[in-house]
């Protein structure tokens, strides 16, 4: 099971974990918030870009290129902090 150290609403956190895990067929329960995508999970730049594009589509947000997203928690925290509150309640 993944260790949760964020205050992310569970549904958003679960959706982000599902999107990340689906990219490399990793079980979502194996993902930890502190996992580094490239070093620990073997994701390359194309994988990360695909994850970003899917997150942007699913959550109707824009993730600029200069945002440092290296861990699972970085993705979760960014999505939570940039998703409109009405979408978080859904």
**Catalytic residue of the set 44, 47, 65, 74:** 44
Is 50 tagged catalytic?
A: no
The Cα–Cα gap between 60 and 83 comes to: 8
17-75 per-position pLDDT tens digit: 999 999 998 888 888 999 999 999 999 999 999 999 999 999 999 999 999 999 999 99
pLDDT at site 10:
76
Residue 88 confidence (pLDDT) above 60: no
52-65 per-position pLDDT tens digit: 999 999 999 999 99
Burial 21-47 (b: 16+ CB within 10 A, else e): bebeebebeebbbebebeeebebeeeb
pTM: 0.81
Domains of the chain: 29-79 (1.10.1200.10)
């Amino acid at each position: 099971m993944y260790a949760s150290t964020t205050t992310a609403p569970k549904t958003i956190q679960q959706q982000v974990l599902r999107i990340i895990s689906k990219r490399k067929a990793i079980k979502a329960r194996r993902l930890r918030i502190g996992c580094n995508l490239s070093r620990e999970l073997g994701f390359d730049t194309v994988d990360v870009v695909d994850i970003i594009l899917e997150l942007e589509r699913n959550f109707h947000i824009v993730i600029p290129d200069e945002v440092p997203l290296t861990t699972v928690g970085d993705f979760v925290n960014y999505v939570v902090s940039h998703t409109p509150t009405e979408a978080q309640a859904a």
